[in-house]
Amino acid sequence: MNKKLFELSYSVRKDFEKKIFFAFFFVICIFAAINILINFVVFPVRTVSASMEPDCPGNSCILFSPLKQNVERGSVVLLEPLLHSENSAAVKLADCLVRFFTAQQFSVVSSRKNMGANRLVRRIIALPGDTVYMRDYVMYIKPKGESFFLTEFELVEKPYNVSINAAPSLWDSSIGVCGSFEQFTLGEHEYFVLGDYRNSCVDSRFFGTVTEKDFKAGALISYFPLNKIKVYF
Protein backbone atom coordinates (compact mmCIF):
# COMPACT_ATOMS: atom_id res chain seq x y z
CA MET A 1 0.00 0.00 0.00
CA ASN A 2 2.75 2.44 0.97
CA LYS A 3 4.68 1.52 -2.17
CA LYS A 4 1.68 2.29 -4.38
CA LEU A 5 1.15 5.64 -2.64
CA PHE A 6 4.83 6.48 -3.08
CA GLU A 7 4.71 5.59 -6.79
CA LEU A 8 1.54 7.65 -7.24
CA SER A 9 3.07 10.59 -5.35
CA TYR A 10 6.24 10.37 -7.46
CA SER A 11 4.21 10.25 -10.68
CA VAL A 12 2.12 13.27 -9.65
CA ARG A 13 5.25 15.18 -8.67
CA LYS A 14 6.99 14.43 -11.97
CA ASP A 15 3.88 15.43 -13.90
CA PHE A 16 3.72 18.68 -11.91
CA GLU A 17 7.40 19.40 -12.59
CA LYS A 18 6.83 18.86 -16.33
CA LYS A 19 3.91 21.31 -16.29
CA ILE A 20 6.05 23.89 -14.46
CA PHE A 21 8.87 23.44 -16.97
CA PHE A 22 6.60 23.81 -20.00
CA ALA A 23 4.86 26.83 -18.44
CA PHE A 24 8.25 28.49 -17.82
CA PHE A 25 9.39 27.61 -21.35
CA PHE A 26 6.17 29.06 -22.79
CA VAL A 27 6.65 32.34 -20.88
CA ILE A 28 10.25 32.61 -22.12
CA CYS A 29 9.07 32.04 -25.70
CA ILE A 30 6.42 34.75 -25.34
CA PHE A 31 8.98 37.24 -24.02
CA ALA A 32 11.38 36.29 -26.82
CA ALA A 33 8.67 36.80 -29.44
CA ILE A 34 7.73 40.19 -27.97
CA ASN A 35 11.35 41.32 -27.91
CA ILE A 36 11.95 40.16 -31.48
CA LEU A 37 8.82 42.03 -32.54
CA ILE A 38 9.66 45.31 -30.81
CA ASN A 39 13.34 45.25 -31.74
CA PHE A 40 13.30 43.98 -35.30
CA VAL A 41 9.77 44.48 -36.68
CA VAL A 42 7.82 47.36 -35.15
CA PHE A 43 7.88 49.32 -31.90
CA PRO A 44 6.25 52.46 -30.46
CA VAL A 45 8.15 55.62 -29.54
CA ARG A 46 6.73 58.47 -27.49
CA THR A 47 7.97 61.94 -28.41
CA VAL A 48 8.81 63.56 -25.08
CA SER A 49 9.30 67.05 -26.51
CA ALA A 50 7.57 69.41 -28.93
CA SER A 51 10.40 69.13 -31.48
CA MET A 52 8.14 67.67 -34.19
CA GLU A 53 5.19 70.02 -33.80
CA PRO A 54 2.75 70.82 -35.32
CA ASP A 55 2.16 67.40 -36.93
CA CYS A 56 3.43 65.49 -33.88
CA PRO A 57 2.84 67.42 -30.65
CA GLY A 58 4.63 66.54 -27.43
CA ASN A 59 3.77 63.07 -26.04
CA SER A 60 2.71 61.78 -29.45
CA CYS A 61 3.06 58.05 -30.05
CA ILE A 62 4.63 56.90 -33.31
CA LEU A 63 5.13 53.37 -34.61
CA PHE A 64 8.60 52.80 -36.07
CA SER A 65 10.04 49.85 -37.93
CA PRO A 66 13.73 48.98 -38.39
CA LEU A 67 12.63 47.30 -41.63
CA LYS A 68 11.59 50.68 -43.04
CA GLN A 69 14.98 52.25 -43.61
CA ASN A 70 13.84 54.88 -46.08
CA VAL A 71 16.18 57.83 -46.50
CA GLU A 72 14.05 60.01 -48.76
CA ARG A 73 13.50 63.74 -48.44
CA GLY A 74 10.86 64.48 -45.86
CA SER A 75 11.04 61.03 -44.25
CA VAL A 76 10.65 60.89 -40.47
CA VAL A 77 13.31 58.72 -38.88
CA LEU A 78 14.45 57.61 -35.44
CA LEU A 79 18.09 58.40 -34.76
CA GLU A 80 20.45 56.50 -32.54
CA PRO A 81 21.46 58.56 -29.48
CA LEU A 82 24.18 60.88 -30.75
CA LEU A 83 25.25 62.12 -27.33
CA HIS A 84 25.41 59.45 -24.64
CA SER A 85 27.69 58.11 -21.93
CA GLU A 86 29.31 54.71 -22.33
CA ASN A 87 28.32 52.02 -19.81
CA SER A 88 30.36 49.06 -18.64
CA ALA A 89 29.81 45.58 -20.08
CA ALA A 90 28.19 44.42 -16.80
CA VAL A 91 25.72 47.32 -16.85
CA LYS A 92 24.90 46.67 -20.51
CA LEU A 93 24.26 42.97 -19.76
CA ALA A 94 22.04 43.80 -16.78
CA ASP A 95 20.16 46.38 -18.84
CA CYS A 96 19.66 43.85 -21.63
CA LEU A 97 18.21 41.29 -19.22
CA VAL A 98 15.92 43.81 -17.52
CA ARG A 99 14.63 45.11 -20.86
CA PHE A 100 14.10 41.52 -22.05
CA PHE A 101 12.02 40.39 -19.06
CA THR A 102 10.00 43.62 -18.92
CA ALA A 103 9.27 43.83 -22.68
CA GLN A 104 11.35 47.03 -22.98
CA GLN A 105 9.31 48.82 -20.32
CA PHE A 106 12.10 49.25 -17.78
CA SER A 107 15.83 49.87 -17.97
CA VAL A 108 18.83 49.82 -15.65
CA VAL A 109 20.42 52.90 -17.21
CA SER A 110 17.27 55.00 -17.79
CA SER A 111 14.15 55.67 -15.82
CA ARG A 112 10.91 54.61 -17.48
CA LYS A 113 9.96 58.26 -17.87
CA ASN A 114 13.18 59.06 -19.74
CA MET A 115 13.63 55.85 -21.74
CA GLY A 116 12.66 57.64 -24.94
CA ALA A 117 14.30 60.94 -24.10
CA ASN A 118 17.60 60.09 -25.76
CA ARG A 119 15.88 58.94 -28.95
CA LEU A 120 15.63 61.67 -31.56
CA VAL A 121 12.70 61.74 -33.96
CA ARG A 122 13.72 63.99 -36.84
CA ARG A 123 12.93 64.66 -40.49
CA ILE A 124 15.42 64.11 -43.34
CA ILE A 125 15.75 67.41 -45.18
CA ALA A 126 18.83 67.09 -47.39
CA LEU A 127 20.65 64.17 -49.00
CA PRO A 128 24.32 63.48 -49.83
CA GLY A 129 25.65 65.88 -52.46
CA ASP A 130 22.98 68.54 -51.85
CA THR A 131 24.03 72.16 -51.45
CA VAL A 132 21.96 73.82 -48.75
CA TYR A 133 21.44 77.06 -46.86
CA MET A 134 18.83 78.31 -44.41
CA ARG A 135 16.92 81.59 -44.28
CA ASP A 136 14.38 82.37 -41.56
CA TYR A 137 14.24 78.70 -40.50
CA VAL A 138 13.41 77.43 -44.02
CA MET A 139 15.90 75.24 -45.88
CA TYR A 140 16.85 75.98 -49.48
CA ILE A 141 18.29 73.04 -51.37
CA LYS A 142 20.09 72.57 -54.66
CA PRO A 143 20.14 68.81 -55.34
CA LYS A 144 23.31 67.26 -56.68
CA GLY A 145 23.58 67.90 -60.40
CA GLU A 146 20.96 70.65 -60.44
CA SER A 147 21.46 74.39 -61.06
CA PHE A 148 18.77 76.04 -58.97
CA PHE A 149 17.78 76.18 -55.31
CA LEU A 150 14.29 75.16 -54.23
CA THR A 151 12.69 75.25 -50.81
CA GLU A 152 12.55 72.04 -48.82
CA PHE A 153 8.77 71.92 -49.37
CA GLU A 154 9.10 71.93 -53.16
CA LEU A 155 11.31 68.85 -53.20
CA VAL A 156 9.17 66.39 -51.22
CA GLU A 157 6.39 64.14 -52.48
CA LYS A 158 4.41 64.21 -49.24
CA PRO A 159 3.82 67.68 -47.76
CA TYR A 160 4.52 68.39 -44.11
CA ASN A 161 4.09 71.34 -41.76
CA VAL A 162 6.66 73.19 -39.70
CA SER A 163 6.28 75.57 -36.79
CA ILE A 164 8.15 78.87 -37.05
CA ASN A 165 7.61 81.63 -34.52
CA ALA A 166 8.86 85.14 -35.19
CA ALA A 167 11.59 86.16 -32.74
CA PRO A 168 11.22 89.44 -30.81
CA SER A 169 12.83 92.44 -32.49
CA LEU A 170 15.62 92.68 -29.90
CA TRP A 171 16.28 88.92 -29.74
CA ASP A 172 19.94 87.89 -29.72
CA SER A 173 20.27 85.47 -32.67
CA SER A 174 23.29 83.81 -31.02
CA ILE A 175 20.96 82.32 -28.39
CA GLY A 176 19.43 78.96 -29.24
CA VAL A 177 19.57 77.23 -32.62
CA CYS A 178 20.24 79.37 -35.68
CA GLY A 179 17.51 80.28 -38.13
CA SER A 180 19.86 81.17 -40.97
CA PHE A 181 23.25 79.96 -42.20
CA GLU A 182 25.31 80.21 -45.37
CA GLN A 183 25.39 77.52 -48.03
CA PHE A 184 27.55 74.43 -47.89
CA THR A 185 27.58 71.06 -49.65
CA LEU A 186 26.90 67.76 -47.92
CA GLY A 187 29.48 65.00 -48.22
CA GLU A 188 29.05 61.60 -49.85
CA HIS A 189 27.34 59.93 -46.88
CA GLU A 190 25.97 62.97 -45.06
CA TYR A 191 22.33 63.78 -44.34
CA PHE A 192 20.86 66.94 -42.83
CA VAL A 193 17.98 66.40 -40.40
CA LEU A 194 15.71 68.93 -38.73
CA GLY A 195 12.87 68.99 -36.27
CA ASP A 196 9.60 70.53 -37.41
CA TYR A 197 9.56 73.00 -34.52
CA ARG A 198 12.34 75.10 -35.98
CA ASN A 199 12.77 77.70 -33.22
CA SER A 200 13.73 75.24 -30.52
CA CYS A 201 15.02 71.85 -31.59
CA VAL A 202 18.25 69.87 -31.28
CA ASP A 203 19.02 68.76 -34.82
CA SER A 204 21.75 69.02 -37.49
CA ARG A 205 22.12 72.72 -36.73
CA PHE A 206 23.39 71.63 -33.31
CA PHE A 207 25.15 68.27 -33.75
CA GLY A 208 25.96 68.47 -37.47
CA THR A 209 25.15 66.09 -40.29
CA VAL A 210 24.40 62.41 -39.74
CA THR A 211 25.05 59.25 -41.73
CA GLU A 212 22.84 56.32 -42.63
CA LYS A 213 24.23 54.26 -39.76
CA ASP A 214 22.66 56.79 -37.36
CA PHE A 215 19.17 55.89 -38.60
CA LYS A 216 17.59 53.30 -36.31
CA ALA A 217 14.13 53.03 -37.89
CA GLY A 218 11.61 54.72 -40.15
CA ALA A 219 8.22 56.06 -39.06
CA LEU A 220 5.10 54.10 -40.05
CA ILE A 221 2.22 55.92 -38.40
CA SER A 222 1.58 58.48 -35.68
CA TYR A 223 -1.42 57.05 -33.82
CA PHE A 224 -1.78 59.29 -30.77
CA PRO A 225 -3.30 61.79 -30.17
CA LEU A 226 -6.22 60.58 -32.24
CA ASN A 227 -6.81 63.95 -33.88
CA LYS A 228 -3.22 63.93 -35.18
CA ILE A 229 -3.14 60.49 -36.82
CA LYS A 230 -0.69 60.56 -39.71
CA VAL A 231 0.56 57.82 -42.04
CA TYR A 232 4.18 58.06 -43.22
CA PHE A 233 4.20 55.44 -45.99
Tell me the mean pLDDT in the region 38-42.
75
Tell me the mean pLDDT in the region 7-34.
77
| Residue 93, pLDDT above cutoff 90 | no
Partners of residue 131 on adjacent β-strands: 142, 185
Our count of domains for the chain comes to: 3
Residues 125 and 212 in one domain: yes
Residues 90 and 158 in one domain: no
pTM, entire model: 0.74
Residues 200 and 111 in one domain: no
- The domain in which residue 146 lies consists of 49-82+119-225+229-233
CA–CA separation, 203 vs 147, rounded Å?
27
| Residue 44, pLDDT above cutoff 70 | yes
Greater confidence (31 vs 196) lies with 196
Torsion sign (Cα): 181, 186, 189, 192: positive
